[in-house]
């Protein structure tokens, strides 16, 4: 049995997801810094994924080339099947659409509303899993989804009642919801692709393909991709190292050990993390209704964790 096939300790996926959630909570804060440095949203998304893929390349390319040479000498088929390549392209496209729409939403609505709406993944994954695969979630997961979504709704309502909620909250909130749909599709595709690919190869393909789509979109719109300030580059590098490599890679690793629905529920903790980061960096405090919503999110995540074997 290879090391990749050995069972992991029971609690390890939950620890990894917790670390990933902490890292990913910096994403909206760093994106706001990058936008403040006049970096277009699509370029922010492209560099976040592109730098992450570039940093992973040495860990993937040399072992991959060696294995490909060995397979050729043995007369075996290609290293990636057509199905795997097709799934990787689909995953990369969904990931590009997720980051492109979500980071763009931060231009128009508040961090709290954007983070709450973009993390409504469990609702869409639950519906899609039932319609496509007839998968019926158990009562703990259903309760976790319900409480988490209620918490997200309370955060959104509280934020909409406060001044300074953004230049165009309706557009921003719509973009965040579209981002949630795209991330849900990415998780479901990734669950199947991760069953046959190593973690490093999978994230290299997904992040790299997504970055290529986003750089293409940036070039098509004739937006700048290089002429940024030092502060802007620091924000981009921070997004690639923290939220992307640590955060999203933790989620991708966990996809081989827990369900996409549970990973999606864990992402609902992102608004809590964003609120804590906003308090630490900007001194923003929580309104009472927001605090209740965050509490419901945490209870929902706990119930979803109980649903996992």
- pLDDT 10s digits, 124-137: 877 787 777 777 77
pLDDT for residue 6: 63
Confidence of residue 154 (pLDDT cuts 50, 70, 90): confident
Tell whether 4 is covered by a domain: no
Helix H, strand E, coil C: the string for the chain is CCCCCCCCCCCHHHHHHHHHHHHHCCHHHHHHHHHHCCCCHHHHHHHHHHHHHHHHHHHHHHHHHHHHHHHHHCCCCCCCCHHHHHHHHHHHHHHHHHHHHHHHHCCCCCHHHHHHHHCCHHHHHHHHHHHHHCCCCCHHHHHHHHHHHHHHHHHHHHHHCCCCCCCCHHHHHHHHHHHHHHHHHHHHHHHHHHCCCCHHHHHHHHHHHHHHHHHHHHHHCCCCCCCCCHHHHHHHHHHHHHHHHHHHHHHHHHCCCCCHHHHHHHHCCHHHHHHHHHHHHHCCCCCHHHHHHHHHHHHHHHHHHHHCC
pLDDT above 60 for 78:
no
Tell whether 2 is covered by a domain: no
pLDDT above 70 for 74:
no
Which residues form the domain of 253?
12-307
Tell whether 131 is covered by a domain: yes
State how many domains the chain has: 1
Tokens of 55: 């940093």
pLDDT for residue 68: 53
C-alpha 98/C-alpha 40 separation (Å) is: 16
Nearest CA among 177, 171, 71 for reference residue 116: 177
Confidence of residue 165 (pLDDT cuts 50, 70, 90): low
pLDDT for residue 207: 92
Percent of the residues in the chain that have a pLDDT greater than 70, as a whole number = 88
pLDDT for residue 134: 74
Give ∠ CA 205-208-211 in degrees, rounded to 5: 145
Tell me if 152 sits within 8 A of 293, measured CB to CB: yes
Confidence of residue 66 (pLDDT cuts 50, 70, 90): low
Which segment of 118-122, 160-164, 227-231, 233-237 scores lowest on mean pLDDT?
A: 160-164
Tell whether 228 is covered by a domain: yes
Interval 42-66 mean pLDDT: 87
Interval 272-298 mean pLDDT: 78
Tell whether 236 is covered by a domain: yes
C-alpha 93/C-alpha 261 separation (Å) is: 20
C-alpha 77/C-alpha 99 separation (Å) is: 34
Cβ-count burial of 211 within 10 angstroms (0-12 exposed, 13-18 middle, 19+ buried)? buried
Tell whether 297 is covered by a domain: yes
Interval 26-37 mean pLDDT: 90
Residue with the larger pLDDT of the pair 291 and 63: 291
Interval 188-196 mean pLDDT: 83
pTM here? 0.81
Tokens of 303: 């119930």
Tell whether 1 is covered by a domain: no
C-alpha 25/C-alpha 21 separation (Å) is: 6
Tell whether 218 is covered by a domain: yes
Per-chain mean pLDDT for the chain: 83
Confidence of residue 64 (pLDDT cuts 50, 70, 90): low
């Amino acid at each position: 049995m290879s090391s990749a096939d050995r069972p992991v300790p029971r609690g390890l996926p939950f620890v990894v997801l917790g670390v990933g959630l902490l890292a990913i909570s910096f994403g909206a804060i760093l994106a706001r810094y990058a936008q403040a440095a006049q970096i277009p949203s699509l370029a922010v998304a492209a560099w976040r994924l592109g730098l992450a893929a570039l940093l992973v390349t040495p860990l993937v390319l040399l072992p991959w080339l060696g294995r490909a040479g060995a397979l050729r000498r043995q007369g075996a088929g290609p290293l990636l099947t057509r199905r795997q390549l097709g799934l990787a392209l689909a995953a990369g496209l969904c990931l590009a659409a997720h980051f492109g729409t979500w980071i763009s939403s931060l231009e128009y609505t508040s961090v709290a509303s954007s983070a709450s709406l973009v993390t409504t993944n469990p609702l869409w994954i639950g519906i899609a899993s039932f319609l496509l695969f007839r998968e019926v979630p158990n009562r703990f997961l259903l309760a976790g989804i319900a409480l988490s979504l209620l918490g997200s709704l309370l955060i959104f309502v509280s934020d909409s009642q406060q001044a300074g909620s953004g230049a165009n909250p309706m557009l921003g909130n719509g973009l965040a919801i579209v981002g949630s749909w795209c991330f849900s599709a990415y998780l479901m595709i990734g669950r199947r692709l991760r069953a046959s690919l190593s973690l490093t190869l999978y994230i290299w393909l997904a992040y790299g393909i997504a970055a290529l789509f986003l750089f293409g979109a940036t070039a098509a719109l004739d937006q700048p991709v290089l002429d940024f300030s030092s502060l802007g580059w620091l924000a981009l590098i921070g997004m690639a190292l923290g939220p992307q490599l640590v955060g999203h890679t933790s989620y991708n690793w966990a996809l081989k050990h827990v369900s996409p629905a549970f990973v999606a529920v864990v992402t609902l903790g992102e608004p809590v993390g964003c609120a804590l980061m906003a308090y630490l960096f900007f001194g923003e405090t929580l309104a009472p209704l927001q605090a209740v919503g965050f509490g419901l999110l945490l209870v929902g995540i706990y119930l979803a964790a109980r649903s996992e074997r």
